[in-house]
Amino acid sequence: MAISGSSDLGLRLRTFVIQIVSVLIDTLFLSVWLLLQWSLKNLSEKFQLDGIHGHMLSVYQVTFGLATLFPITAYIAVDLWTIYVRSKKAIAGLENKS
C-alpha cells in the first residue's frame, strides 16, 4: 500500500514540476521577446530617420514584433491547454475514485 501511494505522489510531483518548468520557459521566451523589442526600439531611436525611411523602420518593427510574438503565444497557448486538460483529467479521476 505504501509503495502505491509513494509512486502516485511521485507521479503527481513529476507532473507538477513539468508544468512549472513549462510555465517558466514560456515566461523566459516572452521576456526575451520583450527585451528584444525594447532594445530594437531604443536602437531605432538613435538613427533618427525622417520621411519614408522612418515609416519603413516603424513598419518593420511592427511586422517583426508580430511575426516573432505569434509563435511564442502559440507555444504558451498549447502549454496552458495541456495543463488544463491534464488537470481536468486528474480531477475526473479523483471524482471517479470517490
**pLDDT single digits (tens) 6-47:** 677 888 888 889 889 999 999 999 999 999 999 988 888 888
Cell of 97: 475514485
What is the value of pTM for the model shown? 0.72
Give residue 13's domain range.
2-93
Domain assignment present for 30? yes
Number of structural domains (the chain) is 1
State the pLDDT at residue 1.
Answer: 44
Question: In the 3-class helix/strand/coil scheme, how is the chain assigned residue by residue?
Answer: CHHHHHHHHHHHHHHHHHHHHHHHHHHHHHHHHHHHHHHHHHHHHHHCCCHHHHHHHHHHHHHHHHHHHHHHHHHHHHHHHHHHHHHHHHHHHHHHHC
In a domain, 98, yes or no: no
- The model's confidence at residue 81, banded by pLDDT at 50, 70 and 90, is very high
In a domain, 78, yes or no: yes
